[in-house]
């Protein structure tokens, strides 16, 4: 297995699920936000340039709207707005720690956040500001995984860090199989051949085409994010 690449500029993708209260309730857990902010501060102190894409699944998913009679496009708009809610909550938690943070949205809402302008995002990162990308790609029928892959490519991130609730990518579902084995690393081709679900197909192919390495790691494990940043062999690396 190859050594993990040294990284500086990272794009962190977190599902809305990561923000969900532990008791299974809806909305945003303030304890999760506080602990996430502390970990991001640690990352920043270690020299990371940090961009973040957050999901919205803890609040709304487009397909849920379809179930209740909202058409897909409107539902997806609602889902993208949900990601903005999470983005603003995360921004507030970071600012509480005096970490300079900018939220940029793919759907313009200048009263709430800056519009996404790539050059401006790059500038924020160079100045050490944490940048949160809200509203996904701005387009319906996409996911925040695709937004993460797209933004990682645009800002030329060294690594896409995908936080999940398991320790990485396994040969079978680790939640259902106690003998599931975690891959330390896989190539894009292996991941495709073995049909390992790293991200949705659109997001995965964007990363593959642009050679953005991905590490899938356990977001709920303490210090795991820092270990990923420090190139320790935790989680699963997907590489060329």
Binding site residue list for UMP: 56, 76, 137-144
Candidate list 35, 139, 210, 218; residue touching ligand UDP; CB under 6 A? 139
Which residue ranges make up the annotated binding site for ATP?
A: 13-16, 57, 61, 164, 170, 173
3-state helix, strand, coil in the chain (%, to 5): 40, 20, 45
What are the tokens at 238? 């997907």
Name every residue whose Cβ is closer than 8 Å to that of residue 106 and which is 6 or more positions away in sequence: 80, 116, 133, 134, 135, 136, 137, 138, 139, 147
Please compute, for residue 116, the number of CA atoms within 13 A of its CA located in the half-sphere on the CB side: 21
Candidate list 115, 140, 174, 233; residue touching ligand UDP; CB under 6 A? 140
Instruction: Output 73 or 240, the one with its CB closest to ligand UDP.
Output: 73
Binding status of residue 87 toward ligand UDP by CB under 6 A: no
Which residue has 């940048």 as its token pair?
A: 131
Instruction: Output 14 or 157, the one with its CB closest to ligand UDP.
Output: 14
Candidates 53-61, 125-133, 158-166, 222-230 — which segment interacts with ligand UDP by CB under 6 A? 53-61
Q: Binders of ligand UDP among 146-175, rule CB under 6 A?
A: 146-147
**118 vs 49, 104, 107, 128, 172, CA distance in Å?**
15, 10, 14, 16, 38
Query: Whose CB is nearest to ligand UDP?
Result: 55
Binding status of residue 56 toward ligand UDP by CB under 6 A: yes
**Shortest distance, position 44 Cβ to ligand UDP, whole Å:** 23
**CA–CA gap between residue 35 and residue 104 (Å, rounded):** 22
Candidate list 32, 79, 84, 219; residue touching ligand UDP; CB under 6 A? 79
Instruction: Output 86 or 185, the one with its CB closest to ligand UDP.
Output: 86
Binding status of residue 213 toward ligand UDP by CB under 6 A: no
**CA–CA gap between residue 2 and residue 187 (Å, rounded):** 10
Candidates 76-84, 167-175, 206-214, 221-229 — which segment interacts with ligand UDP by CB under 6 A? 76-84
Candidate list 137, 164, 185, 236; residue touching ligand UDP; CB under 6 A? 137
What are the tokens at 125? 């990162």
49-54 vs 9-14, strand pairing mode: parallel
Binding status of residue 29 toward ligand UDP by CB under 6 A: no
Output the CA angle 167-32-75, nearest 5 degrees. 85
Question: How many residues are present in the chain?
Answer: 240
Residues near ligand UDP (CB under 6 A): 15-17, 55-57, 61-62, 75-76, 79-80, 82-83, 136-137, 139-140, 142-144, 146-147
């Amino acid at each position: 297995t190859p050594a993990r690449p040294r990284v500086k500029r990272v794009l962190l993708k977190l599902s809305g699920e990561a923000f969900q209260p532990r008791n299974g309730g809806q909305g945003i857990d303030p304890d999760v936000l506080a602990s996430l902010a502390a970990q991001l501060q640690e990352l920043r102190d270690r020299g990371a340039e940090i961009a973040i894409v957050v999901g919205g699944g803890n609040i709304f998913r487009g397909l849920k709207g379809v179930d209740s009679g909202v058409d897909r496009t409107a539902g997806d708009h609602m889902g993208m707005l949900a990601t903005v809610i999470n983005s603003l909550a995360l921004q507030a938690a970071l600012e509480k720690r005096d970490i300079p943070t900018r939220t940029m949205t793919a759907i313009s809402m200048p009263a709430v956040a800056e519009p996404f302008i790539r050059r401006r995002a790059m500038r924020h990162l160079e100045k050490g500001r944490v940048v949160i990308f809200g509203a996904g790609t701005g387009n319906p029928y996409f996911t925040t995984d695709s937004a993460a892959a797209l933004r990682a490519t645009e800002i030329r991130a060294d690594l896409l860090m995908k936080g999940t609730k398991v320790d990485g990518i396994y040969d079978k579902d680790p939640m259902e199989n106690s003998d599931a084995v975690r891959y330390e690393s896989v190539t894009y081709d292996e991941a495709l051949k073995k049909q390992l679900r790293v991200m949705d197909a659109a997001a995965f192919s964007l990363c593959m085409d642009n050679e953005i390495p991905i590490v899938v790691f356990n977001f709920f494990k303490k210090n795991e994010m820092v270990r990923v940043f420090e190139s320790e062999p935790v989680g699963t690396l997907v590489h060329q």
